[in-house]
Structure 1
């Protein structure tokens, strides 16, 4: 697929990885008591960072893709990497069905890692896509600059 800029490749890679993430996380159950403002693991998206050099009004602006990252709620990463720790003890206040306060002790907590991010990245094919297309664009740009220098116009 022929692209004119790295910005197009960045946008397409965002779409590819976001779709793969959504496909991987659709099997997760929603939290039953999740407050409306809290994000779900299912809201995971991919974001590409691009760097702009030059000025658009001068006609010499170049855009380079710098990175592609996954953004999601923190508990998604905990779910992916797992956890092996001791939880602190504390006090909880319950109001339903009747008001009561109780204490709980510190306890060992282990959550087995579920590498769903690795699977999503592999299934999306985004690594090969970005590597091939960015390498081709940058090689073409380097070749053009080299020809420009050799021809004595620089």
Structure 2
């Protein structure tokens, strides 16, 4: 059954977040990782400082936290982008709001992970509200898919 696709007014906000803001966030976090790698003296191709290095060096620990925050972003980024682009077709007002919630949560997550003095990187929990944005995008995407059936 063919479906006619009409791009709604305001859809550009979803596209801007998905294809502009989120890749910029990934680039920014990658740059932070690179800067902290140099300070921690962790050579390539090592992805992380060893447990011993992280225990003995605050710089190595911060590098590991930044690297993990960036890795977590990269793990969640593809589906967030896909959901923004898809759900935005059916919900052009709600989708960008959830996208901004996701992005702000990711920023706070990374900042808390890297700068907090809480043990085991628990400062990341401050940004855990990104999951609300992600859950909302899942709900809107499923709802949009059901509308297409």
User: Which of the five TM-score ranges fits, normalised by the shorter chain?
Assistant: 0.3 to 0.5
TM-score, length-scaled by structure 2? 0.34
Higher CA-based Rg: 1
Q: Please identify which structure carries the higher strand content.
A: 1
TM-score, length-scaled by structure 1? 0.33
